[in-house]
Each structure stands twice: as C-alpha cells, then as structure tokens.
C-alpha cells in the first residue's frame, strides 16, 4: 500500500515506538514529521536519514507535548496532517500516596492532553483534504491496570475514551480514529525500568525481563516497533476504512488473560 502524497505527524518520535512507526510510514511513501521536545543535531539527522533512505520528505519539528499551545503549533507548522500518530509518552512508577504531583501532571499532559490538542488542530486539515487517520498509541494499560502506575493508567484509559468520541464525531467522514494498545516493547522507556526492578527484586536482568516485565505477556516475547509500524499502516489502508473507535491490542495475548 502506498501512502505517497500523505503527510504523517508522529509525536514523540526521536526514539522507540514513534521512531519505528515513522520509519514504517516513510517506507510506505508518506512524508513524515518527527517530533520531540529537544532540538539537537541528531534529531534533525534522524529525519534526514529517513528521507534519504525512503526518498520521502522527512522533517523534524521541536515541540513540547506537555504544552497545549506547542502541540497545536506543531500541527500548524507542519502545514498538513493526513495521518496523526499520538505517541509521545513518559512513565513514572510509585504508590499513589507517594506519587509526586508534578509527575502526575506531566504524565496526564504528555500522554493524554497532547492528543486532545493535536487532534483538535489536525481534524480541520483532514476535513479539508477529505481523508484522515488518527492513530493513538495507548497501551495494554489503557485496558487493564497494574499497581504503581496510576497516572499512566489514567492517561491511557483517557486516550482510549477520547479515541471513541473522536471516532463518533468523524463517523460520517472519510476519517478514522483508533488506538493501538501495545504490551511491552523493548524501548528506552521500558529499558529504564529494568535497573530499578533488578535492585528491588534482587534479580538478574534476564529474570526481570521474563518474570516481571513479561509476566503478563503470555507470548513471553516483546512486541516490536516494526510490528506497531505495520499495525499503523494497516489502519491507514483502505481495508481499515470502516475500523474506527476501536482498540487493537499488540500484546502477545496479555489482554486475553
């Protein structure tokens, strides 16, 4: 399937899942806009590398997804948005009575509120273009809970709810809105949780991966960024034109349990 002529904006895409999705969208022919809150040479170099490899226009635009105005400015600055992938996200793990309020606010802002602002700014562009796809990267934690992740789980459940509402508001237009719910994917966000867990449980890295991280993932394998890119491309295809307001789990069976 070719996405030539489409512009895709992927929030939080200088690393991990967002970068993987951006690479797959560009391989399918879309012009991609990478994003994060930094403005380093390596951020722009990533976009240049993707553009060179795929022959598409790839750009990097700095915007802090914790700031609503910056979210909207990202879409405006891109100038077009046929495919919006709301992916930026952070994590913090603590019991709720010890959960730092600033971490709560940051997680709700980056993982949930940003999707409200970008979607609000992108929908008029999609309507004008007569086609659009909103793909929200939620989580298995948008459908189920675990202890110590109150903010993340609240934000991801919120994203799943917003996905349904946006789908209903666009149901009679050639626009869809869906959420992908990954289980564990080995990215810097997950990698960062390993050392503390090793310490906490006095376990080897291998044991943490198998018995803690992948405890609830029946496949006992991480999902990959390429698989999430492929799922995004499917949601952009004609075959998925009537798929809207739903969640697609890429979680090795986690939510089947």
Query: Does residue 175 sit in helix, strand or coil?
Result: strand
**Phi, psi angle pair for 119, to nearest 5°:** -65, -45
Residue number with CB closer to ligand NAD (105 or 200): 105
Site for ligand NAD contains 189 (CB under 6 A): yes
Candidates 48-56, 64-72, 96-104, 164-172 — which segment interacts with ligand NAD by CB under 6 A?
64-72
Candidates 16-24, 25-33, 92-100, 160-168 — which segment interacts with ligand NAD by CB under 6 A?
16-24
Residue number with CB closer to ligand NAD (46 or 125): 46
Minimum CB separation of residue 94 from ligand NAD in Å reads 16
Site for ligand NAD contains 132 (CB under 6 A): no
Distance CA 179, CA 146 (A): 19
Query: Does residue 31 sit in helix, strand or coil?
Result: strand
Answer positive or negative: Cα dihedral of 19, 235, 129, 245: negative
60 is catalytic: no
Distance CA 190, CA 107 (A): 15
Site for ligand NAD contains 182 (CB under 6 A): yes
Candidates 45-53, 119-127, 187-195, 231-239 — which segment interacts with ligand NAD by CB under 6 A?
187-195
Which residues in 138-171 are b (16+ Cβ under 10 Å) and which e?
bbbbbbbeeeebbbbbbbbbbbbebbbebbeebe
| Interacting residues toward ligand NAD by CB under 6 A | 12-18, 36-37, 64-66, 87-90, 110-111, 137, 139, 182, 184-185, 187-190
């Amino acid at each position: 399937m070719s996405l030539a002529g489409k512009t895709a904006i992927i929030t939080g895409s200088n690393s991990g899942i967002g970068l993987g999705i951006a690479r797959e969208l560009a391989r399918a022919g879309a012009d991609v806009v990478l994003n994060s809150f930094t403005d380093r040479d390596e951020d722009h170099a990533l976009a240049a590398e993707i553009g060179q490899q795929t022959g598409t226009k790839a750009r990097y635009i700095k915007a802090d997804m914790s700031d609503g105005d910056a979210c909207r400015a990202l879409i405006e600055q891109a100038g077009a948005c046929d495919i919006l992938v709301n992916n930026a996200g952070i994590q913090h793990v603590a019991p709720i009575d010890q959960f730092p309020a600033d971490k709560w606010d940051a997680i709700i802002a980056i993982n949930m509120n940003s999707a409200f602002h970008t979607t609000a700014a992108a929908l008029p562009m999609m309507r004008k273009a007569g086609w659009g796809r909103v793909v929200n990267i939620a989580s298995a934690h948008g459908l189920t809970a675990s202890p110590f992740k109150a903010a993340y789980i609240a934000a991801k459940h919120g994203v799943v709810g917003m996905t349904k509402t946006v789908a209903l508001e666009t149901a009679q237009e050639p626009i869809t809105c869906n959420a992908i719910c990954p289980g564990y994917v080995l990215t810097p966000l997950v990698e960062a949780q390993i050392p503390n867990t090793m310490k906490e449980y006095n376990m080897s890295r291998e044991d943490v991966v198998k018995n803690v991280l992948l405890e609830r993932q029946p496949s006992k394998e991480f999902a990959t960024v390429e698989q999430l890119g492929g799922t995004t491309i499917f949601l952009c295809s004609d075959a998925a034109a009537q798929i809207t307001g739903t969640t697609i789990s890429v979680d090795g069976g986690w939510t089947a349990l």
